[in-house]
Amino acid sequence: MAMKSAVKSQLTTRKAPLTMYFNDISPGLSESQLRFRVIHFWEAKNIANRTLIGIELLLIEERGTVMQGFISSSRAPTYLPHLKAGATYTLQNFLASTSKEIYRVADQNLTISFSNGSVLAPLDDIPVSIYFPTDRFRFHTHEDFQAHRGPKGDLYDVVGYLRLVNGHSLIDRPVLDEAEVISTRRILVHLQSKDGPVMKLYLWDQAAKDFYKKFTSSEDTPTVLLVTTVNPKVIAGNHNLALSSMASSRVFIDKDIQPTIDYFSWLDSNPEIAKRVNADEVTRSETMTIGRIYAYIKQENAKEASFNCIAAIDDVKRDSAWYYIGCSGCQKKATRGPSSLMCAKCGKTNVYLAKISVYDKNDQAVFVLLGDAGSELIGKHAAELVNNYFEANQDLGAGHQMPVPQALIDTIGQTHKFRVKVSKLNLTGKIQAITVTKIVSPEVLPPVPTPTEIPHDVEDEVALPSAIVIDGSGFKADDADGSTSSMDESRKAKRPKYGK
Picking from 275, 302, 332, the residue at the C-terminal end of a domain is: 275
| Contact criterion met (CB below 8 Å) for 436 and 422 | no
458 lies in the same domain as 317:
yes
> Residue 172 is part of which domain span?
142-275
Contacts of 29 (CB under 8 A, 6+ apart): 93, 94, 95, 115
| pLDDT tens digits for range 371-407 | 778 888 888 877 778 777 777 777 766 566 778 888 8
Task: Name the band, by pLDDT with cuts 50, 70 and 90, for residue 322.
Answer: confident
- The pTM assigned to this predicted structure is 0.56
Q: How far apart are CA 321 and CA 469, in angstroms?
A: 9
| pLDDT tens digits for range 335-367 | 444 444 455 555 455 566 788 999 998 899 999
DSSP 332-364: PBPEE-SSSEE-TTT--B-EEEEEEEEE-SS-E
- Which bin fits 108, alpha (ψ -120 to 50), beta or left (φ > 0)? beta
Instruction: Determine the pLDDT at residue 101.
Output: 78
- Mean pLDDT calculated for residue range 203-226: 93
Please state, as a whole number, how many other Cβ atoms lie within 10 Å of the Cβ of residue 357. 26
38 lies in the same domain as 171:
no
290 lies in the same domain as 270:
no
Q: How far apart are CA 342 and CA 461, in angstroms?
A: 40
189 lies in the same domain as 65:
no
Picking from 92, 122, 152, the residue at the C-terminal end of a domain is: 122
183 lies in the same domain as 43:
no
111 lies in the same domain as 23:
yes
Residue 500 counted as domain residue: no
- Taking the CA atoms of the chain, what radius of gyration do you get in angstroms? 31
Res. 482: pLDDT tops 60 = no
Res. 474: pLDDT tops 60 = no
338 lies in the same domain as 483:
yes
Least confident of 13-22, 179-188, 205-214, 473-482: 473-482
170 lies in the same domain as 87:
no
Task: Name the band, by pLDDT with cuts 50, 70 and 90, for residue 212.
Answer: very high
Least confident of 14-18, 132-136, 221-225: 14-18
Contacts of 435 (CB under 8 A, 6+ apart): 367, 368, 370, 420, 421, 423, 468
Instruction: Determine the pLDDT at residue 74.
Output: 93
Instruction: Determine the pLDDT at residue 298.
Output: 87
373 lies in the same domain as 310:
yes
- Domain containing 60 — which CATH number? 2.40.50.140
Res. 499: pLDDT tops 60 = no
Task: Name the band, by pLDDT with cuts 50, 70 and 90, for residue 472.
Answer: very low
Task: Name the band, by pLDDT with cuts 50, 70 and 90, for residue 205.
Answer: very high
Query: In 3-state terms, what secondary structure has residue 452?
Result: helix
Instruction: Determine the pLDDT at residue 338.
Output: 43
Residue 233 counted as domain residue: yes
163 lies in the same domain as 113:
no
Query: Considering its fold, how many domains does the chain have in total?
Result: 3
Residue 146 counted as domain residue: yes
Instruction: Determine the pLDDT at residue 442.
Output: 83
Average pLDDT, the chain: 76
| pLDDT tens digits for range 139-166 | 887 777 877 776 667 889 999 988 888 8
Res. 458: pLDDT tops 50 = no
Residue 419 counted as domain residue: yes
Report the percent of the chain where pLDDT is more than 90: 31
Least confident of 175-184, 210-219, 225-234, 383-392: 383-392
Least confident of 78-92, 110-124, 297-311, 473-487: 473-487
Instruction: Determine the pLDDT at residue 346.
Output: 52
H-helix or E-strand spanning residue 199: strand 198-204
307 lies in the same domain as 432:
yes
214 lies in the same domain as 146:
yes
Residue 409 counted as domain residue: yes
Report the percent of the chain where pLDDT is more than 70: 72
Residue 92 counted as domain residue: yes
Please state, as a whole number, how many other Cβ atoms lie within 10 Å of the Cβ of residue 166. 16
| pLDDT tens digits for range 233-282 | 876 544 567 889 999 999 999 999 999 999 999 888 887 766 565 444 34
Residue 130 counted as domain residue: no
Within 248-328, residue ranges assigned H as helices are 258-269, 272-275, 290-298
Residue 324 counted as domain residue: yes
